[in-house]
C-alpha cells in the first residue's frame, strides 16, 4: 500500500502546496486507487505523477469546503476520456449529490461509466467486504465533516510450501488454493487442510484519514492503534487560538491525537500557507514534543507501507 499526497495545503493553493487530495494506492492489494478529498486542480497534480485517473475506483470527501472538492467535476469528467469505464463510488456528507449532479447536468458533462454517490447519513461502517472495512465518525469543524478509518482485514498466512509438497500436493493450482485458505483433495482422495500447511494469519494495516477538525474524541477513536494517522496541522502551537476559531488543529493537536490513540505514525498535512519551507523543521519539532514519529507531508510526497513499516520513499513528481 502506498500513500500519494497530491495536495497538502490549507484553504487555497500556494506556490508550494495545492489544496487537499490524497490517493491510497491499493493495487498491491488487488484494488485500484482510493482518493480522499479532491481540491481544485487535483487532476493537474496527477499529471505530474505516474498515477492513472482511470484506476480511481472510490472517492471519499470529508466535507463540502471548496478546497476539498472543487476539483471533483473536472476529475470525474476527464476519467471518461482516459479510459475509465468501471463504476465510480463517491462517499461524502449530505448535499454532495445535489452539488455534483447539478454541476454535471448544467455543464452537459457526459460520463462513460456509472457514478454512484453515497451520502453518509450517520456514523458507522460505510464499506465492508472480504478485504476492507471503512468506518466514519463526525469530527468538529465549522461545517459537517467526517474522518475515515480504513481497516484491512487479516491476511491469510504464508504458504509453507515445503510442508505442502511433503504432504503430496503437486506444484500448480492446488498450492494456490491452499494459500487462499481452501482445503484441497488430492488425486488419491487424501484431503490436505489449508491450516496445516499455512502460517498464522497476518495482521492487515489500519489508516485513519481525518478531515478538517479541532482536537476531539472522535479523532482519537478513529485513530486508535492505527498504523498511520493522516491529520491536519493548519497552525503551529503559537497560533492555537486561530485554530480553535476556525475549527482547525495545531501540529500539537495532531500529535496529541496520535499519542492518545497509541498510533504508530503520524503524517501531518493541510499546512497553512503562512508556513514557508524553512518553517517546516520547526513545525515538526513542535509536534515531536508530544509524539515522536511524525512526518510533514509535502505535495507529491509518497509513503510506502511494507511489512509493517512506513517509509517515505520518493517524490512522485
What CATH number did the domain enclosing 61 receive?
3.60.15.10
pLDDT value at residue 302: 97
**pLDDT, mean of residues 100-126:** 96
- Distance of alpha carbon 63 from alpha carbon 42, whole angstroms: 16
pLDDT over 90 at 187, yes or no:
no
Q: pLDDT band for position 177 (50/70/90)?
A: confident
67 is in an annotated binding site: yes
Q: What value does the mean pLDDT take over residues 186-190?
A: 89
Asked whether residue 63 is marked as a ligand-binding residue, the answer is: yes
Question: Does the pLDDT of residue 317 top 60, yes or no?
Answer: no
pLDDT on residue 316 = 52
pLDDT of 199 reads 84
Query: Stretch 209-228: mean pLDDT, rounded?
Result: 97
Cβ atoms of 56 and 33 within 8 Å: the answer is yes
Same domain, 28 and 76: yes
Q: Whole-number mean pLDDT of the chain?
A: 94
Q: Indicate if 87 and 215 belong to the same structural domain.
A: yes
67 is catalytic: yes
Q: Are residues 178 and 278 in the same domain?
A: no
Global model pTM greater than 0.85:
yes
Q: What's the pLDDT band for 223 if we cut at 50, 70, 90?
A: very high
Q: What is the mean pLDDT of residues 265-273?
A: 97
Which has the closest alpha carbon to 92: 47, 145, 142, 160? Answer: 145
235 and 268 fall within a common domain: yes
Asked if 167 and 306 sit in the same domain, the reply is no
Whether the pLDDT of residue 315 is over 70: the answer is no
Catalytic-role residue among 37, 67, 227, 236: 67
- In eight-state DSSP terms, residue 29 is G
Question: Both 227 and 264 in a single domain?
Answer: yes
Q: In 3-state terms, what secondary structure has residue 294?
A: strand
Chosen domain end from 172, 196, 220:
196
The half-sphere exposure of 301 on its side-chain side, counting CA atoms within 13 A, is: 20
Residues 259 and 137 in one domain: yes
Shared-domain flag, residues 189 and 121: no
Is 55 in contact with 83 (CB distance < 8 Å)?
no
pLDDT tens for each residue of 57-105: 999 999 999 999 999 999 999 998 888 899 999 999 999 999 999 999 9
pLDDT on residue 68: 98
Q: How far apart are CA 19 and CA 72, in angstroms?
A: 12
* Arithmetic mean of pLDDT, 30-57: 96
| HSE value, Cβ hemisphere, 13 Å, CA-based, for 310 | 21
Residue 132 has pLDDT above 80, yes or no: yes
pLDDT at 107 over 80: yes
270 is in an annotated binding site: yes
Backbone φ and ψ of 236, nearest 5°: -90, 180
- Among 196, 220, 247, give the residue marking a domain's end: 196
2-7 vs 301-306, strand pairing mode: antiparallel
What's the Cα-to-Cα distance from 155 to each of 16, 44, 90, 113, 260, rounded to whole Å? 39, 36, 26, 31, 27
131 touches 29 (CB < 8 A): yes
Question: What is the span of the domain harbouring residue 179?
Answer: 161-196
Band (143; pLDDT cuts 50, 70, 90): very high
Q: Are residues 192 and 262 in the same domain?
A: no
Distance, in Å, from the CA atom of 164 to the CA atom of 174, rounded to the nearest integer, reads 10
| Residue 68 labelled as part of a binding site | yes
| Domain final residue, candidates 145, 171, 196 | 196
User: How does residue 189 score in pLDDT terms, banded at 50, 70 and 90?
Assistant: confident
Same domain, 211 and 149: yes
In this prediction, residue 307 carries a pLDDT of: 85
Q: Do 247 and 184 lie in a common domain?
A: no
Query: By C-alpha distance, which of 58, 64, 50 is closest to 6?
Result: 50
Q: Does 151 share its domain with 33?
A: yes
How far apart CA 124 and CA 5 sit, in angstroms, is 26
Instruction: State how many domains the chain has.
Output: 2
pLDDT for res 117: 98
Amino acid at each position: 500500500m502506498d500513500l500519494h499526497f497530491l495536495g497538502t495545503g490549507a484553504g487555497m493553493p500556494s506556490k508550494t502546496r495545492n489544496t487537499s487530495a490524497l490517493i491510497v494506492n491499493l493495487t498491491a492489494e488487488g484494488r485500484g486507487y482510493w482518493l480522499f478529498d479532491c481540491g481544485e486542480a487535483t487532476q493537474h497534480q496527477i499529471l505530474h505523477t505516474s498515477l492513472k485517473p482511470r484506476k480511481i475506483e472510490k472517492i471519499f470527501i470529508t466535507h463540502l469546503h471548496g478546497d476539498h472538492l472543487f476539483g471533483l467535476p473536472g476529475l470525474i469528467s476527464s476519467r471518461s476520456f482516459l479510459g475509465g469505464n468501471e463504476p465510480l463510488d463517491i462517499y461524502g456528507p449530505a448535499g454532495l449529490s445535489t452539488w455534483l449532479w447539478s454541476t454535471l447536468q448544467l455543464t452537459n458533462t457526459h460520463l462513460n461509466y456509472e457514478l454512484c454517490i453515497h451520502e453518509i447519513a450517520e456514523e458507522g461502517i460505510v464499506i465492508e467486504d472480504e478485504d476492507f472495512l471503512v468506518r466514519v465518525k463526525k469530527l468538529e469543524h465549522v461545517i459537517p465533516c467526517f474522518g475515515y478509518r480504513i481497516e484491512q482485514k487479516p491476511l491469510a498466512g504464508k504458504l509453507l510450501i515445503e510442508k505442502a509438497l511433503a504432504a503430496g500436493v503437486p506444484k500448480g493450482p492446488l498450492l494456490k488454493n491452499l494459500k487462499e485458505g481452501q482445503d484441497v483433495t488430492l488425486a488419491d482422495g487424501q484431503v490436505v487442510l489449508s491450516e496445516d500447511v499455512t502460517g498464522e494469519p497476518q495482521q492487515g494495516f489500519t489508516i485513519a484519514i481525518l478531515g478538517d477538525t479541532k482536537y476531539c474524541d472522535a479523532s482519537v477513536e478513529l485513530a486508535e492503534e492505527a498504523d498511520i494517522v493522516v491529520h491536519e496541522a493548519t497552525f503551529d502551537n503559537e497560533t492555537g487560538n486561530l485554530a480553535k476559531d476556525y475549527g482547525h488543529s495545531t501540529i500539537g493537536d495532531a500529535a496529541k491525537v496520535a499519542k492518545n490513540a497509541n498510533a504508530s505514525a503520524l503524517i501531518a498535512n493541510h499546512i497553512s500557507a503562512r508556513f514557508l519551507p524553512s518553517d517546516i523543521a520547526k513545525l515538526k519539532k513542535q509536534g515531536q514534543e508530544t509524539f515522536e514519529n511524525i512526518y510533514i507531508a509535502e505535495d507529491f510526497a509518497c509513503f510506502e507501507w511494507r511489512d509493517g513499516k512506513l517509509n517515505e520513499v520518493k517524490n512522485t513528481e
